[in-house]
Chains A and B, each alone.
Chain A
Amino acid sequence: MRYKEYNVNRVLEKCIQLFWVNGFRGCSVKDIVEVTGVNRFSLYHEFVDKNGILYNALQLYRERYCEDKFNILKETGQPNELLTKFYLSFLAEENIHPGCFFIHIGTELADTDERIKILVKSYLDEIEGLIYQLLKQDASTKHAKFYARHLTGLFCTSMSFCLIHTKEERLQYISNGIDVILNKYNSYATST
């Protein structure tokens, strides 16, 4: 019996870094072979094709890098503070790459690759669901859904626009965005 001589997640981890820096189109299978040290035949055997590597890399990113960040939205506290902390967790200096891998790949490929489109959509739906749960404590279902939709929109903006901001600009931009969106939510929440 032949044993796999490499660890699948370790290969995918290297691919996440590679795609993040060079873009998916910007790297060839040859680059992937060089970076991972796994030959073409084994890669295709495991992942079918280059796109298969990307789908699995997105899944690993979700499992490995998003859990802690998503959990911020489950903490107890003021929604605006938790939301700020949530957005900023993706942009923190200590991350290997600031931003969100899903938005990065979605920007590049979600209009040409149906599978990527579905993965990005379900990822954003998950975020919207978590924000909804957070806001539901103080608002009606209808209102919470409305605000969650727009705070997810702000997530998309933060994961793209804020990449070129300084730390201060980014904090300012995110708090301003949350304030404008939640302005009415707060008056609504306190009046009930």
Chain B
Amino acid sequence: MPQALNQTYDELVYKAQSLFWEQGYKGVNAQELADHLDVSVSTIYNKYTKDMLFMDSITYYMNTYSDPFLSQLRASTEGLISLKGFFYALIDALLDKTFPRSCLMVNTVVEMRNENQEVIDLYKKYFDALVNSYKVVLDKAIELGQIQHPEKKEEYAQFLLGVIFSLSILYKINDKESLQNFIDERLSFIV
């Protein structure tokens, strides 16, 4: 008799994303995934595949972790001061393991690069959301007269997009104070 599944698919995605976040895509095999989700390996092979769970884990990550962060940023009113608060909050989330291991998207970029078209589409969605949020804040900052060269908005947004990548490595080898200092200095480049 086939094993009855007493968990919803959403519950499985919720559990899977924490494993993928800690161990990456390639660092999880079907058996480990099955054990972690408390389902049989045949469920992973036949019903909810590793790829499917991984894609939905990324979507879960975007909806649960990054979107609230970003909508808060877009709604902020203090331009560069809000931006600094955003990066400080990110540092805290990385250090206190609210984000258990870097940013899931950064990990995925390094691990999988352009190997999978579905993942590439998700990168685009994610990076567009980031850049657009940065532009909204930059507009505020320009309005508040915090930026000397408003015509460089595009360049600055791209520049800011890189910050999450460097933080994803640097938080592992630096303390909180030097990371905050790093952010202060980064932002000084765009004033």
The chain A residues found within 8 Å of chain B, CB to CB, are: 22-26, 99, 103-104, 106-108, 110-112, 117, 120-121, 124, 146, 149-150, 153-154, 156-157, 160-161, 163-164, 173, 176-177, 179-181, 183-184
Contacts and interface: CB of A to CB of B under 8 A. Distances in A.
Interface in B132-191: 152, 155-156, 158-159, 161-163, 165-166, 168-170, 172-173, 182, 185-186, 189-190
B23 A25 contact: yes
A100 to B, nearest CB: 10
A153 B161 CA distance: 12
B27 A181 contact: no
B79 to A, nearest CB: 18
- Would you list the 5 A-B pairs with minimal beta carbon distance, nearest first? A25-B27, A26-B26, A157-B162, A110-B172, A153-B166
Contacts of B85: none
B109 A163 contact: yes
Nearest to B178: A149
B136 to A, nearest CB: 19
Contact of B173 (A120, A160, A181): A120
B110 A99 contact: yes
A23 B25 CA distance: 9
Given A160-B110, A160-B165, A153 B182 contact: yes
A99 B169 CA distance: 14
A150 B24 contact: no
